[in-house]
Chain A
Amino acid sequence: MTASNSFRSMISMTDRSPTPALLLGLVLTLLTVVTYSWYITLQIDGLKSVQRDFAGRNRKDSLQLLRAQNDLNSLALAMRDMLDNEGPYPLTAWSAQFERIHADLDDALRLDEQLAIGHRTPEQREYLSNSLQQFWDAVNRAFRLAEEGKEAEARYQVKLSLLARQQALSITVARLLVENTESEEQTALYVNQIYNRVQRHAYMFLAGTLAAILCTGLYLTFANRKLFNRLSVLSAQRSELAQKLISTQESILRHVSRELHDEFGQILTAIGAMLSRMHRQSPAAAGLCNDLLELRDITQSTLEKVRGLSQSLHPVSLDEADLGTTLDWYLPNLERQTGLAISFEKSGVCSQLESSVRVHVYRIVQEALSNIIRHSGSPRAWVRLNYQPGSLVLEVEDRGVGMGTKLSHHGIGMTAIRERATLLGGTVEFLRPLEGGTLVRLSLPLIKTEADRDETSAPTLPEGPASMALTR
């Protein structure tokens, strides 16, 4: 399967974006959380209601009943004091104490009435109310007797009637307290059931959430893998495209250069020869003779320009000589044309590189120097070509403004340098020397290959690391 076929199949596989599925999952998750929150809120409200309406109210009611019980006990103590009275006080002295207890007891039972509406039968209410009424009626009768000076009769009333009624009231209140306690136990049981239910549901929600997280994680992993595969194919396609573009460009340049040199050079040379012959055969008329000479000079000048253009498009030495020689020719020309002072250093044992490698390295030098001229503002540049065992290192350095953070925004030139380096299986670094400016360093591995490539063909590169013939 070719790369293009592979790409097409990959595109068809990844046509479906994971975003809708993820969005759907997110919406479902949010809906689940909202639903569960609503459920929890409902349960908490229910608990609050139970605690407020039942437990809290019951507790408050019990407190009022305890208060009433305490009042009844105080009444019992007061009555015992009345019966045991050895002091100088008449029974009527206790009336204020009874009134205070009466007021407090009424207040406690009034509050009890309000708090115990839910679980008090009408019969219980009526019995308690009647018992109290009868008790206070008996109290009033006893104090009336005491006021009338009938202390003994009043004491008899207290002993016979009041103590028994107080005892009955105390038992009634105690029963109500027991009922409250039982009701409280039932409420506690109900609350416990709610807690257990909520706990069970919470575990279920947790399990569901974990399952959802697991599915989402698996789906994301799968989608990511597909995306990375697609990116790899795209990257391969881009490299392939770049290689083809570069190959096409080099092929065109080579072709144009050869055409200029071979075709137009021959034609212009022939024209120049014919003009020279016509000059020699023409009469000595001054006018015609001078015109022929002038025409021959123009033709010669045009021929030189065509040859120069041919050289600049694709130096012949690239095909016939080594890289150093080509640069020896190219760099002085550039100095003359641009005014940029260029120092060129060669070191190491010169290796015979493949023509395609020479072309790519030459183009990289051209691009790097072009960047220096256009962007760096540096008046000087250094080009260093270092042959090392197994590798070639090319450095182009300047003392200009440097590339700084704009490295990624330098346009197609830098991209072309990177692509060519990639095509050669090498690496390129854009460094900032301590002295300032920019240092472009190209490192190429020199690998001996079996294949003897056709140096005249367009410079194409095999897939994988750059390869070149190493000859000495």
Chain B
Amino acid sequence: MNRRDFLRHILMAGASLPAISWPEHMDLGFRFSEVTNAAGIHFRHNSGAYGGKLLPETLGAGCAFLDYDADGWQDILIVNGMDWPEHKRQRTTLCLYRNNRNGTFSDVTREAGLDVEMYGMGVAIGDYNNDGFPDIYVTCVGQNRLFHNSGNGTFIDVTHASGLGNRHAFSTSALWFDFNCDGLLDLFVCNYVKWVPEHDVFCSLDGTRKSYCTPEAYRGETCWLFRNRGNGTFEDVTAHSGIFDTSSKSLGVAMLDYDLDGWPDLLVANDTQPNKLYRNLHNGTFKESAVEAGVAFSSDGKARAGMGVDAADFDNSGADGIAITNFDNEMIGLYKKMPGGEYQDIAATTDVGLVSRNTLGFGCSFVDVNLDGQLDLVVANGHIDETVRFIRSGVGYAQSPHLFLNQGKARFSDVAHNAGTEFSRPKVGRGLAYGDFDRDGDLDLLVTTNNGPVHLFRNDQFSGNRSIRFHLVGTKSNRDAIGARVQITCAGETQSRMVKSGSSYLSQSELPVTFGVKHHDRVDRLVIYWPSGRTEEYKNILTKRAYKCTEMRGMVFQYGF
């Protein structure tokens, strides 16, 4: 290579850096294959759009992996909207798909009693009554719904019986967590803005045709916190707990342990308003600490359009990092916990910031897609306005997702274009959840689209990397062990995961935790920090297996893969 060739290669490399950060020909060691139709999932979201451009139409909807029949196989729940009252064309409901344990699913919505028409937005899964069967909370535009799992494959709407009725709002994401560590799951619900169809504001991009408004046109709405009384009813503790804030316009919520005190804290992503970090004060109240933690604003002091959010130990430091998806031209916020306790947005110094400048992100999850022991970041993208291409060149309505592969030392590369043809195809993505529906030890993805189909992507591993999975069952703690932190040490590397509800956008992923361990055949040490305060430790555990860990009763082998 002569000097001219060398300089040419350098220039080409420099020019292509933003677009191509991973060689096209490189084998990632895994691939996401679309198996939606083959799995028998034929769902299409109904936003109710009829041309009125009503605000909720462009924001839904979510999805979830759950094991509703407690058979050890992950089932799927997909939230749906409905036609607006004056524009009825069809009847649509959320859909529950039972896992047939052979790679296919059956639609059991009607049998389960869930064929209820509602304008659904998000979903949170949690066993609030500790009966061993996960219950479903669906957020809606209007009245949210709580469906109690009766344990025989059917659900009962207990919204009003539980004290959650008579509340009408534009709710978005929600999560179950035990904020007072009493062994009962409490409920946190995000509300977006004060909106009713009758008072929808006329917004226009071209001055003539109506378009979807930004949230600045509406007043904010406080999030809700409901304490589980333990008798099947809930108490609204929003005001008492310090959560009450009518300025918020919340779309996403994630639980994390910000101050590493073992008590669950909350991070709420707000749209055009500062994000909120509610630090648990252990006395049933929270202190809002987003500004001092450095996650309220962007690094230039701007309140961004926060959509989805997830928190996880992506740098294996033991502390939870945070990812928040934002509007296009705002970049994803990728926050790393610094030694001083505050967060620093490192997105701009990695591919994450550069690549996400032209995408509008919604669902986001830290997932170890290649089982290398480093949490990667998956982001579902899609714009809210079909005409965006006329306003911003290079930004489309349908957008490819991001798959930021974690290369260690806070370095990420977007490899979505190489992870599967259907996976990388542009779509109007919204919800995102992960779960191992085929029990092969790796994590599959479920992506919803606005007013479009859902996509189930099966993770196919070729690298030979192994994993280990733990399904936690609380006894003193809440039965789902939500809030438990699981820590493994393998070949000198320590990873940690939290059992959590919520996160992403309007969605919920499976509750079992999965660790990638590369080619190692055993984990040296496993430590479980239960929400009750109890700590359990296990040693020398074989990988390529799933285990069930019951609080105070030990660990048993479930299945291998």
Contacts and interface: CB of A to CB of B under 8 A. Distances in A.
A54 B220 CA distance: 37
Interface string B238-278: 11001011110000000000000000000000000000000
Nearest to A82: B246
B236 interface: yes
Interface string A59-90: 00001000000000010011011000000111
A90 B238 CA distance: 11
B244 A94 contact: yes
A146 B288 CA distance: 23
A93 B238 contact: yes
A93 B239 contact: yes
Contacts of B288: 96, 100
B244 A74 contact: no
B181 to A, nearest CB: 22
B247 A74 contact: yes
A78 B246 CA distance: 7
B245 A96 contact: yes
A410 B316 CA distance: 84
B247 A78 contact: yes
A376 interface: no
A93 B247 CA distance: 13
A183 interface: no
A10 to B, nearest CB: 56
B497 to A, nearest CB: 32
A88 B245 contact: no
Contact of A89 (B219, B244, B247, B291): B244
Contacts of B220: 77
B239 A92 contact: yes
A94 B242 contact: no
A457 interface: no
A35 interface: no
Interface string B215-231: 00001101000000000
A97 interface: yes
Contacts of B244: 89, 93-94, 96-97
A94 B219 CA distance: 15
Contacts, number: 35
Interface string A88-121: 1110111011001000100000000000000000
Contacts of B247: 74, 77-78, 97
Given A81-B219, A100-B288, A94 B246 contact: yes
- Taking residues whose C-beta sits less than 8 angstroms from the other chain, chain A's interface range is 10 to 19
Contacts of B222: 89, 93
A80 B218 CA distance: 13
Interface in A181-215: none
A63 B291 CA distance: 16
Contacts of B245: 96-97, 100
A92 B244 CA distance: 10
A81 B239 contact: no
A77 B288 CA distance: 19
A110 to B, nearest CB: 15
Nearest to B245: A97
A89 B242 contact: no
Contacts of B291: 104
Contacts of A88: 236
Nearest to A75: B247
Nearest to A78: B246
A77 B238 contact: no
Given A88-B236, A100-B288, A81 B242 contact: no
Contacts of B236: 88
A22 to B, nearest CB: 43
Interface in A274-328: none
A74 B242 CA distance: 17
Contact of B246 (A63, A90, A97): A97
Contacts of A89: 222, 238-239, 244
Contacts of A81: 219, 246
A96 B242 CA distance: 6
A179 to B, nearest CB: 22
Contact of B219 (A77, A93, A96, A100): A77
B279 to A, nearest CB: 13
A93 B222 CA distance: 10
A80 B238 CA distance: 19
A100 B248 CA distance: 13
Contacts of A96: 242, 244-245, 288
A94 B239 CA distance: 8
A73 to B, nearest CB: 10
A77 B249 CA distance: 13
A369 to B, nearest CB: 57
A74 to B, nearest CB: 5
B219 A90 contact: no
Contacts of B301: 63
A81 B247 CA distance: 9
Nearest to B241: A96
A97 B245 CA distance: 6
A386 B251 CA distance: 110
A63 B297 CA distance: 15
Contacts of B219: 77, 80-81
A429 B288 CA distance: 99
A80 B246 CA distance: 10
Interface in B433-468: none
B436 to A, nearest CB: 41
Contacts of A104: 291
Contacts of B242: 96
A77 B239 contact: no
A90 B222 CA distance: 13
A343 to B, nearest CB: 57
Interface string B297-337: 00001000000000000000000000000000000000000
Contacts of A97: 244-247
Which of A77, A92, A100 is packed against the most chain B CB atoms within 10 Å? A100
A81 B301 CA distance: 26
Nearest to B166: A88
A70 to B, nearest CB: 9
Nearest to A67: B301
B501 to A, nearest CB: 24
Nearest to B248: A97
B71 to A, nearest CB: 40
B189 to A, nearest CB: 13
A92 to B, nearest CB: 7
A81 B242 CA distance: 17
Nearest to A103: B291
A141 to B, nearest CB: 20
A100 to B, nearest CB: 6
A160 B21 CA distance: 61
Contacts of A80: 219
Contacts of A63: 301
A88 B220 CA distance: 16
A96 B247 CA distance: 12
Interface string B398-439: 000000000000000000000000000000000000000000
Nearest to A85: B246
B504 to A, nearest CB: 27
A258 to B, nearest CB: 78
Q: Which 9 A-B pairs rank lowest in CB-CB distance, beginning with the nearest?
A: A93-B239, A81-B246, A93-B244, A96-B242, A89-B239, A97-B245, A74-B247, A78-B246, A77-B219
Given A74-B247, A93-B238, A100-B288, 12 more contacts: A63-B301, A77-B220, A81-B219, A81-B246, A89-B222, A93-B239, A96-B288, A97-B244, A97-B245, A97-B247, A100-B245, A104-B291
11 contacts: A74-B247, A78-B247, A88-B236, A89-B239, A92-B239, A93-B244, A97-B244, A97-B246, A97-B247, A100-B245, A104-B291
